[in-house]
């Protein structure tokens, strides 16, 4: 019974990484495709220089999402996402956005990132295969 729980526990980390990774890929791709527009938006939102932050955010989301799917450098990517989504949430709170219809998805992404940061990728990952973490 206990070993069955451990097996499901490992699958849960895989599922968590897969969903978060795919979500980040989906969010990052449009930013990479239109890096100029992303840079302009970042700059107009107060994140200057806009091009620097556009590149950072785009790479963390898109490349980080790919890495999460495969469980590669999971805790580093999770740390970067945790920092990014803390900033996003505080920025949205400062702009008086509501939780519902505002930053609830960001909060879920933050929580997911923290779980992966603290627990790692699990055994079904390249991190485990290569003994990275």
Buried b (16+ CB within 10 A) or exposed e, 104-114: eebeebbebbb
At 123, is the secondary structure helix, strand, or coil? coil
How far is 131 from 133, CA to CA, in rounded Å? 6
Q: Let me know: does 116 contact 17? Beta carbons within 8 Å.
A: yes
Q: Residue ranges per domain, the chain?
A: 8-130
Instruction: For residue range 76-118, list pLDDT tens digits in order.
Output: 999 999 999 999 999 999 999 888 888 999 999 999 999 999 9
Instruction: For residue range 27-82, list pLDDT tens digits in order.
Output: 999 999 999 999 999 999 999 999 999 999 999 999 999 999 999 999 999 999 99
Q: Let me know: does 115 contact 17? Beta carbons within 8 Å.
A: no
DSSP-derived secondary structure for 30-49: HHHHTHHHHHHHHHHTT-SS
pTM exceeds 0.85: yes
């Amino acid at each position: 019974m206990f070993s069955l729980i451990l097996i499901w526990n490992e699958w849960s980390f895989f599922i968590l990484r897969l969903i978060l990774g795919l979500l980040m890929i989906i969010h990052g791709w449009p930013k990479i495709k239109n890096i100029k527009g992303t840079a302009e938006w970042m700059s107009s939102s107060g994140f200057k220089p806009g091009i620097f932050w556009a590149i950072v955010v785009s790479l963390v989301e898109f490349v980080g999402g790919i890495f999460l799917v495969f469980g590669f450098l999971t805790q580093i990517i999770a740390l970067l996402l945790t920092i990014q989504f803390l900033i996003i949430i505080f920025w949205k709170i400062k702009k008086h956005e509501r939780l519902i219809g505002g930053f609830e998805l960001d909060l879920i992404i933050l929580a997911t990132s923290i779980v992966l940061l603290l627990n790692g990728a699990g055994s079904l990952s390249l991190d485990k295969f290569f003994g990275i973490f």
